């Protein structure tokens, strides 16, 4: 049962789960791939509980979120209801029924001022989106101690139905010949969507609980990543301009600088091999659906 299965990551997770012979139910406010679909108000405890009771899944994966950082900063009440209360209601229902629960979080729980972050480092978010993810992690583990918190930094790939994809947005801008400003000072630890989904499905079947970071075996600046993607997509790298210092844009929430999440724990836990950034780019581009 996938909350947020019509989005970028959720849609890919459904497709890969089906290839692995999982029976899948998508829970979202609109249908995506042709699988069983439940329309649920994630901010309503009874709506969430009733849906989980009806489907009675083995595992619930929650990728549903207000993930637009600027929207979360503007619409704080909505972001809290979806990102924190929704995560809490699912945790309560899963704990009551003994259902495995995998919750997606973010490197945005960290302020980005340290050189790198392990699962044991204390969260200290710099924007409201990160704060909601930090609070959600707390309530999920409080209500459902056997849950898994998956923290990710940036996901590479294309959507299978819809959702917000960095790849798709970049490709559209490049096709239009638009110049792209990318920050040199924001570092991320990206993972391609296929490897991510394979890791999550493996987690669904093992006995691990707690927090785990999933990402590449190396990290990269958003500027260098955008340049490499532009080159691999067959466009002129000159379209990508370095943004050396943060620029003030009204309504834009602050971003954390260093999203360098260590993946040593995941490498010891999982059989699925984590890739380098370049390997992830190649896999994500080669796997365009």
49-76 pLDDT, tens digit each: 999 999 999 999 999 999 999 999 999 9
In the prediction, which pLDDT does 245 show? 83
Query: pLDDT 10s digit of each residue in the chain, 289 long?
Result: 999 999 999 999 999 999 999 999 999 988 989 999 999 999 999 999 999 999 999 999 999 999 999 999 999 999 999 999 999 999 999 999 999 999 999 999 999 999 999 999 999 999 999 999 999 999 999 999 999 999 999 999 999 987 889 999 999 999 999 999 999 999 999 999 999 999 999 999 999 999 999 999 999 999 999 999 999 999 999 999 999 987 767 778 999 999 999 999 999 999 999 999 999 999 999 855 4
If we measure between CA atoms, which residue out of 21, 18, 23, 57 comes closest to residue 40? 57
Spatial CB neighbours of 110, under 8 Å, sequence gap ≥ 6: 117, 121, 123, 124, 125, 130, 256, 258, 259
Positive or negative torsion for Cα 34, 148, 129, 244: negative
CA trace torsion 128, 274, 13, 103 (10° rounding): -40
| pTM given for the model | 0.96
Give the domain ranges of the chain. Answer: 2-222+249-286
d(CA 242, CA 1): 41
In the prediction, which pLDDT does 67 show? 94
Residue 159 · residue 168 · CB < 8 Å: yes
In the prediction, which pLDDT does 161 show? 86
**Mean pLDDT score across all residues of the chain:** 95
Spatial CB neighbours of 27, under 8 Å, sequence gap ≥ 6: 1, 2, 3, 4, 5, 37, 38, 39, 40, 42, 51, 64
219-242 pLDDT, tens digit each: 999 999 999 999 999 999 999 999
CATH no. of 2-222+249-286: 3.40.50.720
In the prediction, which pLDDT does 58 show? 98
In the prediction, which pLDDT does 289 show? 40
């Amino acid at each position: 049962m996938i909350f947020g299965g019509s989005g970028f990551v959720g849609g890919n997770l459904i497709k890969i789960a089906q290839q692995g012979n999982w029976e899948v139910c998508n829970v979202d406010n609109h249908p995506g791939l042709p699988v069983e679909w439940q329309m649920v108000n994630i901010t309503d405890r009874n709506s969430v509980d009733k849906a989980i009771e009806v489907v009675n899944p083995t595992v619930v994966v929650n990728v549903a979120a207000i993930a637009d950082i600027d929207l979360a900063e503007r619409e704080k009440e909505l972001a809290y209801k979806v990102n924190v209360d929704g995560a809490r209601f699912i945790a309560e229902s899963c704990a009551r029924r003994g259902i495995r629960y995998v919750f997606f979080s973010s490197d945005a729980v960290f302020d980005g001022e340290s050189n790198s972050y392990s699962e044991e480092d204390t969260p200290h978010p710099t924007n409201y989106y990160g704060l909601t993810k930090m609070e959600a992690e707390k309530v999920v583990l409080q209500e459902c101690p056997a849950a898994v918190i998956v923290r990710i930094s940036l996901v590479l790939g294309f959507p299978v139905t819809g959702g917000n994809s960095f790849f798709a947005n970049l490709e559209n801008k490049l096709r239009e010949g638009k110049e792209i400003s990318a920050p040199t000072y924001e570092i991320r630890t990206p993972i391609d969507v296929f490897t991510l989904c394979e890791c999550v499905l493996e987690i669904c079947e093992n006995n691990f609980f707690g927090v785990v970071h999933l990402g590449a075996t190396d990290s990269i600046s958003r500027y260098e990543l955008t340049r490499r993607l532009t080159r691999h997509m067959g466009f002129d790298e000159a379209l990508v301009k370095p943004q050396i210092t943060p620029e003030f844009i009204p309504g834009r929430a602050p971003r954390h600088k260093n999203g360098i999440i260590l993946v040593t724990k995941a490498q010891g836990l999982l059989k699925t091999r984590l890739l380098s950034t370049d390997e992830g780019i190649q896999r994500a581009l080669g796997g365009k659906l």
